[in-house]
C-alpha cells in the first residue's frame, strides 16, 4: 500500500465523524493525495475541522463540501473527477434509528443507493462502504438498514456493467473512542461515581480507529468487487470495560435498550458457506453470480467450516483490562477517572 493513495482524489462521506477525521489525518501522514474531499451536512463541524486540520494540510489538498447522501444531484457534482469514495455517512445510534425509522432508512438505504448511482455515473474507480456488526443477523432497524446497504454495495458491482469500478464493504464492531460509543460514554459517567450497565453478560468487539482506517486502505487495494472484509479483533466484557475506566465507580444494571444485542456477531452461520479466513481478517464473498467461487477473490484464503460463526462471545481473542487501560492512558492522558 506504499503508494496506494498518492496523486489520487478521495472523497469521504460523513467525513467530519470520528472515522472520517482519523482517515484524513492518517492519509495525510502516509500518502500524498491529489485531493482529499470531506462531504458532510454539518457546516459547524466542517468549520471546526478546517481549523483543526489546517496545520496538517501543508500541500493544500483538503476540500470541504456541504452535502447530504440523501441528495443524488449533490453527489453527482461532488464525485466529479474523484478516484475513490469512502462511504462513512450513516444514522448509526441504535435508539435513534428505532425512534426515527423513516430518517434512518433515508440516510442508510436511500443514501447508499445514491452513492452507488453517482459513483457509476461519475466513473469513480473504487467505493468502500463502512458496515457494522449489527448488519449480521440484525434485530434493530440500524442493523437492518446496514444489511440492506451491504447488499446494495455488493450488487453495485453488477449494476456497474462495463464501468471500471469496484464496490466493497468493511465490517467491524465497537470502535474504541469513537463518538457515541461506549468508552467516551462510560468515561463521562464515571465522573458521577456511577456507570450504567445494560447487562452484565454483554460482550463487544474492540477495534481502534487506526485499525479501522487500515482495513479500508487494505480493502481499496485488495478488492475485486463485492467482498465484505471482517477484521480479527479482540472481544471484551462490558463490565470489564467499565472497570478499566474506573475501578471506583459503582456499576448499575439498567437493562438492555431497545434494539440492543447481548453479543455482537460479524459473521453468521449462514455466511460461513462462502466465507474465507486469512491471517488477520475474514472475507465474506457474495453468493450471487457465483462470485464466491472466483479464485481471484479467494486468493490464499481458507474456507471456513459449515456452521462457523464469529461473535464477541465465542471469540478466541480477548482484550484484558490492562490492555484497555494502556490504550485509555494514551488517549485520555491526565483524565482523573482513569485509575
Burial of 286 (0-12, 13-18, 19+ CB in 10 A): buried
33 neighbors 56 (Cβ within 8 angstroms)? no
Catalytic site residue 134?
Answer: yes
CATH 3.40.640.10 fits 9-173+208-232+265-311, yes or no: no
Instruction: State the pLDDT at residue 259.
Output: 77
Cell digits of residue 169: 464493504
pTM: 0.94
Q: Give the H or E element holding residue 236.
A: strand 235-237
**Per-residue confidence of the chain (339 residues) as pLDDT tens digits?**
789 999 999 999 999 999 999 999 999 999 999 999 999 999 999 999 999 999 999 999 999 999 999 999 999 999 999 999 999 999 998 889 999 999 999 999 999 999 999 999 999 999 999 999 999 999 999 999 999 999 999 999 999 988 999 999 999 988 887 877 889 889 899 999 999 999 999 999 999 999 999 999 999 999 999 999 999 999 999 999 999 999 899 999 999 887 788 999 999 999 999 999 999 999 999 988 888 889 999 999 999 999 999 999 999 999 999 999 999 888 875 554 443
Radius of gyration over every alpha carbon of the chain, rounded to an integer in angstroms:
20
Quote the DSSP letter at residue 19. Answer: H
Instruction: State the pLDDT at residue 166.
Output: 97
Q: What residue spans of the chain are helical by DSSP H?
A: 18-30, 43-53, 72-78, 94-99, 101-105, 111-121, 141-159, 182-189, 209-222, 238-245, 295-298, 321-331
Instruction: State the pLDDT at residue 28.
Output: 96
Identify the active-site residue in 8, 21, 134, 237. Answer: 134
Residue with cell 470520528: 18
Rounded to whole angstroms, the Cα distance separating 122 from 2 reads 26
Amino acid at each position: 500500500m506504499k503508494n496506494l493513495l498518492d496523486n489520487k482524489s478521495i472523497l469521504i462521506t460523513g467525513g467530519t465523524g470520528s472515522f472520517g477525521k482519523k482517515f484524513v489525518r492518517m492519509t495525510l501522514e502516509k500518502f500524498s493525495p491529489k485531493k482529499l474531499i470531506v462531504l458532510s451536512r454539518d457546516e459547524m463541524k466542517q468549520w471546526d475541522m478546517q481549523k483543526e486540520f489546517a496545520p496538517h494540510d501543508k500541500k493544500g489538498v483538503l476540500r470541504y463540501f456541504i452535502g447530504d447522501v440523501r441528495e443524488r444531484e449533490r453527489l453527482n457534482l461532488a464525485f466529479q473527477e474523484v478516484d475513490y469514495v469512502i462511504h462513512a455517512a450513516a444514522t448509526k445510534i441504535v435508539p435513534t434509528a428505532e425512534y426515527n425509522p423513516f430518517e434512518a432508512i433515508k440516510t442508510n438505504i436511500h443514501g447508499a443507493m445514491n452513492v452507488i448511482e453517482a459513483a457509476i455515473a461519475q466513473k469513480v474507480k473504487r467505493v468502500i462502504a463502512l458496515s457494522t456488526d449489527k448488519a449480521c443477523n440484525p434485530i434493530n432497524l440500524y442493523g437492518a438498514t446496514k444489511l440492506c446497504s451491504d447488499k446494495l454495495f455488493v450488487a453495485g458491482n453488477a449494476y456497474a456493467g462495463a464501468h471500471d469500478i469496484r464496490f466493497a464493504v468493511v465490517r467491524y464492531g465497537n470502535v474504541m473512542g469513537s463518538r457515541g460509543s461506549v468508552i467516551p460514554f462510560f468515561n463521562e459517567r464515571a465522573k458521577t461515581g456511577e456507570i450504567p450497565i445494560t447487562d452484565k453478560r454483554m460482550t463487544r468487539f474492540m477495534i481502534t480507529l487506526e485499525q479501522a482506517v487500515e482495513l479500508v486502505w487494505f480493502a481499496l487495494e485488495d478488492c475485486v468487487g463485492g467482498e465484505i472484509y471482517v477484521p480479527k479483533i479482540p472481544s471484551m466484557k462490558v463490565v470489564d470495560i467499565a472497570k478499566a475506566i474506573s475501578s471506583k465507580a459503582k456499576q448499575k444494571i439498567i437493562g438492555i435498550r431497545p434494539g440492543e444485542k447481548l453479543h455482537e456477531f460479524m459473521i453468521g452461520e449462514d455466511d460461513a458457506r462462502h466465507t474465507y479466513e486469512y491471517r488477520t481478517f475474514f472475507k465474506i464473498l457474495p453468493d450471487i453470480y457465483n462470485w464466491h467461487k472466483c479464485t481471484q477473490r479467494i486468493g490464499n484464503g481458507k474456507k471456513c467450516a459449515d456452521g462457523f460463526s464469529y461473535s464477541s462471545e465465542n471469540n478466541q481473542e480477548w482484550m484484558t483490562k490492562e490492555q484497555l487501560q494502556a490504550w485509555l492512558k494514551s488517549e485520555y492522558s491526565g483524565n482523573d477517572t482513569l485509575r
